[in-house]
Chain A
């Protein structure tokens, strides 16, 4: 059995979590997931400004801090912290933790190859909308293939203490050590699916140990000291989900089920680069307090294509808000919205979308919210999005005047100041045949 822990569910997760996972109990592998879909576009902008950037900058100092314990306890790290620049990430890790053997996985970054793919006849049509790539071809910021676990396992086989990849399937971070330790083959669909399933359960960190859970949330203990998830993997593809003894949070089968369904689409066909996992044969059992045994993972042959994550420049947006108070808070907020919209219209500004919602009333629950009764206060939040930056910028100057010229009782403007204009990044999913993506491993010592 090997213990694989996940210490980051996204870039921005709790900085202490990986340190505690290493210090508070036994683990064999530490995975750290930094990349959301939109992260790659952010990293590309950073890399354009400075060719030594483009990776998760939290990662090297973390490894520097962990290095003595990693060596002493023989814990190996697998992370997608490389983003768009795994080489620069590896050099920075070695600067902070000299003596560690670091390997990078290359091949996911195809930003420069989109034209080549199209010329070869790959349509790269949007898997959600069916639109053709031509619509965004001149606005692409980044394009990455979701790699599977085998190149990462190859890096472990090369003896790396720290494996740094760019874009790979989140679950590959956990599957790679399983492949390396247990010798799972490329066509062992049930076993690979078991690794994908376990990887999915832990990839969002504490969402499987009691964070963001509706299961008796008031009584989940010590969320300030919440333990991050550990998958205890067996060579036969069964596993247990647990966390270190004495940590906060809770692991039980109801909570694990919430995470199992999280953002998956069809539970019979959870697509990954290495296998298609079927969750409908799984059996979850509360083996002991804080430990859920998972059996029955089934898999089918991997898809012939890999998914591409393409980010493109999609214009500009800004969001402004004001707070109105009782009496008639909602009516005042709605009147303010009408004034702003009329002014924008009379200025002749063009937007792709103007969206208004009322925080404190129905912004999250929409028509399911209780009727607009007398709420003591409500925040009107108006957002605009469009291709013309100057129009969006002009909108940011149309909120403040309402404090003096709109309905009575407006506040909440001064604290945040004028709304900021932000660049919008669109996300485009497409497919590319596997043969177009070549991966390689490079070892740094």
Chain B
């Protein structure tokens, strides 16, 4: 069945130059494999396609039950160049919680 990512994970995001870094952490260690299967770099890129030039890199930290994403070209220049209200990408993590993922019912 489909559920929002928020059922399985919590997130925190911030900037790194013109990139956004999003940490995605499983609430329960046993849900990490589902996260790793469902939350791919491609799907995250698709999710933010309207605002992110890409590419999107994914890193794995199974010891933390966590994935980390680096979204390149994500902030309209980064730093003080950005014209966006969220010029440091602080809300990208919260947005990603809306992503629908498939889990065993």
A residues within 8 Å of B by Cβ? 37-38, 128, 207, 212-215, 254, 257-268, 279-284, 296, 314, 317, 319, 353, 355, 357, 359, 363-368, 381, 383-385, 422, 424-427, 429
Contacts and interface: CB of A to CB of B under 8 A. Distances in A.
Interface secondary structure of B, over-half rule: mixed
B51 A427 contact: no
B66 interface: yes
Contact of B64 (A262, A279, A357, A366): A279
Given A128-B17, A357-B85, A261 B61 contact: yes
Contacts of B57: 266
A257 to B, nearest CB: 5
B25 A257 contact: yes
Given A214-B11, A355-B83, A426-B79, A364 B95 contact: yes
B76 interface: yes
A427 B79 contact: yes
B86 interface: yes
A427 B64 CA distance: 32
B12 A267 contact: no
A257 B84 CA distance: 28
Contacts of A357: 84-85
A266 B67 CA distance: 10
Nearest to A427: B79
| Ranked 3 nearest A-B pairs via Cβ | A261-B23, A383-B83, A355-B83
Interface residues of B, number: 48
Contacts of B83: 317, 319, 353, 355, 383-385
A267 B79 contact: no
A128 to B, nearest CB: 5
Contacts of A38: 79-80
A368 B98 contact: yes
A431 to B, nearest CB: 14
Interface string B37-51: 000000000011111
Contact of A254 (B10, B14, B15): B10
Contacts of B60: 267, 280
A280 B67 CA distance: 11
A263 B15 contact: yes
Contacts of A422: 80
Contacts of A319: 83
